Chains A and B, each alone.
Chain A
Amino acid sequence: MQNEQLQSFFRGDYMPHGHCYLWQPHILWTNVVADLVIAASYFSIPIAIMMFANKRKDIGYNKVFALFSLFILCCGITHVFGIITIWQGVYGAHGIAKAITALVSLVTAIYVFKLMPNALAMPTIQQFAGVRDQLKAVSESHSSLESQLKNSGVFKFMIEAMPLGAVLVDDHFNIQLVNKTLLKDFGFSSEALLGKPLSYLFTSDGHEFEKLQQALKTVVEDNPMSSQSLILKGKSKHGDGIPIEVSIVKEHADGTAMILVSIKNLTHFRYLENQILESHQRLERAISATNDGIWEWNIATGEVSYSPQLMILIGQEQHIEHPEFAHWKSHIHPDFVELVEFNMQRHFDHGEKYEVEYIGLNKKGEYGWFLTRGDTLFDANNKPRLMSGSLSYIEEKKHIQEELKEKQRYLTNIIDNAICGIFVFNFDQQTNTQINQRYTDITGYNMEDIATLPSLMELFHPDDIGKVMVHIEDVIAVGGNEVSALQYRLKHKSGRWIWCYSFDSVLSRDANGEPLEMLGTFIDITDLKNNADKLTESNEYLERFAYVASHDLQEPLRKITAFSDSLHARLVDELEGDAAYELDRLKDAASRMRVLIQDVLSLSKINVDSVNKQQLPFSHVLNQVQDNLSFLIAESQTEIMLKQDATIYVDSGLMTQLIQNLIQNSIKFRQADLAAKIIISIQQQIHTTLIQIHDNGIGMDSNGLQQIFEPFKRLVRRDQYEGSGIGLAISKQIVKVHGGTIHCTSKLGEGTQFMIELPNA
């Protein structure tokens, strides 16, 4: 049943409303269009309301806006149903829509009335504008306050950040405000100072505090903005004194006088000041410690600053406090003023070093050597502005220099006057870097000549150059300062050849041992060499002469012998008496002449070159002699005794000849009724060997002893003793070429002794 009723309620087949209008188009469409426009309008209004509500959330009352929107939307829907019902009889649904609309309308109405008192309390637009203006004024005042607050913060920050202690005091000089710097400097906390009198920060003793009181008083009494500044000693929390600079400023603010005391801590400045002072004192000490004087000269103003030492040095001690340029200038010896000025001008004009040695008065008022040195500051126009430098008293140095110079001169003198030429040869430059005067005397070349020579090597004789090169290699090769000798020919500046005898050694070497310089000394041996050559030539000539002479002399002699012999053979039976005697004498003379010539010949042959020395026992020589003279010795019954043998250093042949000569001599000059007895003794000495040959012969007068070794000296008559008279001369010559000596002692009727001394080496 209920279903039936429900079905009937929602049935759509009721008579459409159009029928009510009889489907009259004009009525029908008027209703339809009007409902359509109303519905459309009603649908759009809630959208506008919700948009507004959404944008103006500040208004609140969301429920009212929602109810109004729903109520209008529902009205729209009922109008749509109005249009539908014209053609479809859905009056049930139409009724429900109207019922919902009615419900919503009712709720809305109730809510609106409920809201009425609130709505009435809402300000009007005018009321709102007034409130807004008020608000603006309030906020402006607020921001002004804020800005003031901010300014105050900046001010506070500034005060705090200042590296300067600041104290604000009232007109009773009680502390109202302090900043951090001050607290830090003095070591107090803020609370400990606030309300305390300003004097709390100062030492109360002494007149310094009085000065502060005075200053404060002055500031207070004086005009506003007056300020006072003074340096005082502060007192820290721990009672230490702090050097401070205090400034006091007074200002009226809001009718009250405020006094700002700023306090600058000078401890650090004092430290710097001390440092500067100390450094200055150090400089002063340095200046006074040096023996040199220090000077400064302002050229523009003429002002000078001379160190006390300078004033003392130049003997102007009395003006030590107020030095003047003239003090220095007047100490210069008149003869040196020009020199000093010239050097100074040159220094100004060309920037050359200002360094002058001059003679001036010293502190004793005597003249002595000074050295001044300086440098100059020039201005933009290149004008000298400030000159400064030092002054030294160099008398002693000068003395030493003079002494050195004197020694140098002395050495140079010795070197120049040395008997030998001296040169220093530089291997790098391949030339002589130093020569002495004697070098020039010997060779003709001076240093200039040497410098212009293409090569020193050209001066050596072509035949000697190889020898010289080898010699230089040798000199380089030997270590130390060994010297080696060389003979060479050098071309004199005049073109002639000179013979030099040179000793050379390496003078200096580099770190690697390579030679840098060679020291050469040489003497001119040209004359010696020429003499030696002449002597050699003369000796050769003499030998040749002796040979040729002997040979040519023998030629006719041989013929005299031959012819006289032949004559004798032919006439042997016919010659008688005197004729036979004379022919015999002729033959005898010829044979003696022959011996003589042979002896002269052998004498001429004995020279140093013909000596060939060797070590041999003396007995060998003696045996040879005894062998050679065996017949003579046997015949004369001579006794020969060798006391002791020894080794001698001689030419075997010549020595045999010597000993043979002497033994022959002893036998020849034996006593008529006594067999010859010859005793030979030998003594070995350190450097020589002494051979003594003693006989028991006839001896001789001491007068004759000096002459026996001279050739052709005969002490006895020829008819008594045969001989050429040259035997002892030959003996002496043999000893001489051995480098030895021969002497003879003799006593008439007792015997003769020969002493031969020969070198052992």
Chain B
Amino acid sequence: MHSRVIHKILIVDDDQDDIYFFKQALSKVQGDFQLQHLRNGKELLEHITEHRLDNVSLVLLDLNMPVMDGWETLEKMASLSVKVKWPIIVYTTSKRAEDVGNAYRLGALSYIVKPDTIIELTKILQSTFKYWFDVVEHPMKKEGN
């Protein structure tokens, strides 16, 4: 008998296609997920202000966005007086080593390059979720199983 656990996932990306792919891939992953879509960093910061106490399992943050890009968002989050404990995973097309380094330096806990196909993305999500939801311990981890 499994106790049913619903993981709340935030994806911050302005690209509607990528959101579509993500949803497609997510639908193929086993588990219950609540996906919320935000279009840029500004919306994420506002969301944090309003729902700081929410239990968010993962935040996928694109870097290249209008209004407020991923970099600025990471900097702003690091400078918040009360920090949220939501794991931030950068989700971008850039493979540049420089970007990878900067992302971790600014507080990202993982860095995922957007794959070319939904199948690939599905595989990535499966392993990512396994890692974050099953393997490691962290403050936002939900008790289940």
Contacts and interface: CB of A to CB of B under 8 A. Distances in A.
Interface of A: 551, 554-555, 558-559, 561-563, 565-566, 569
B118 A551 contact: no
Given A558-B114, A562-B21, A566-B24, A551 B119 contact: no
3 A-B pairs with the lowest CB-CB distances in the bound complex, closest first: A565-B117, A561-B116, A566-B118
Which of B64, B93, B94, B117 has the most CB atoms of chain A within a 10 A radius of its CB?
Answer: B117
B80 to A, nearest CB: 30
A569 B119 contact: yes
A554 B94 CA distance: 10
B94 A561 contact: no
A241 B117 CA distance: 149
Contacts of B93: 551, 554-555, 558
Nearest to B18: A559
Contacts of B94: 551
B50 interface: no
Interface in B56-107: 64, 93-94
A565 B114 contact: no
B17 interface: yes
Contacts of B118: 562, 565-566, 569
B63 to A, nearest CB: 11
Contacts of A558: 93, 114, 116
Contacts of B119: 565, 569
Contacts, number: 28
Given A555-B93, A559-B17, A565 B24 contact: no
A175 B119 CA distance: 170
Interface string B1-28: 0000000000000010100010010000
Interface in B19-68: 21, 24, 64
Secondary structure at the B interface, as helix, strand, loop or mixed, is: loop
Nearest to B17: A559
A561 B120 CA distance: 12
A555 B63 CA distance: 13
Contacts of B117: 561-562, 565-566
Contacts of A562: 17, 21, 116-118
20 contacts: A551-B93, A551-B94, A554-B93, A555-B15, A555-B93, A558-B93, A558-B114, A561-B116, A561-B117, A562-B17, A562-B21, A562-B116, A562-B117, A563-B17, A565-B117, A565-B118, A565-B119, A566-B117, A566-B118, A569-B119
B94 to A, nearest CB: 7
B99 to A, nearest CB: 11
Given A558-B93, A562-B116, A566-B118, 16 more contacts: A551-B94, A555-B15, A558-B114, A558-B116, A559-B17, A561-B116, A562-B21, A562-B117, A563-B17, A565-B116, A565-B117, A565-B118, A565-B119, A566-B21, A566-B24, A569-B119
A558 B93 CA distance: 9
A206 to B, nearest CB: 132
A160 B136 CA distance: 152
Contacts of B21: 562, 566
A563 B24 CA distance: 11
A561 B119 CA distance: 12
A236 B116 CA distance: 149
Contacts of A566: 21, 24, 117-118
Nearest to A548: B64
B119 to A, nearest CB: 7
Contacts of B15: 555
Contacts of A551: 64, 93-94
Nearest to B121: A562
A565 B15 CA distance: 19
Nearest to A566: B118
A558 B92 CA distance: 12
Which of B17, B93, B116 has the most CB atoms of chain A within a 10 A radius of its CB?
Answer: B116
A559 to B, nearest CB: 5
A551 B15 CA distance: 14
A506 B93 CA distance: 60
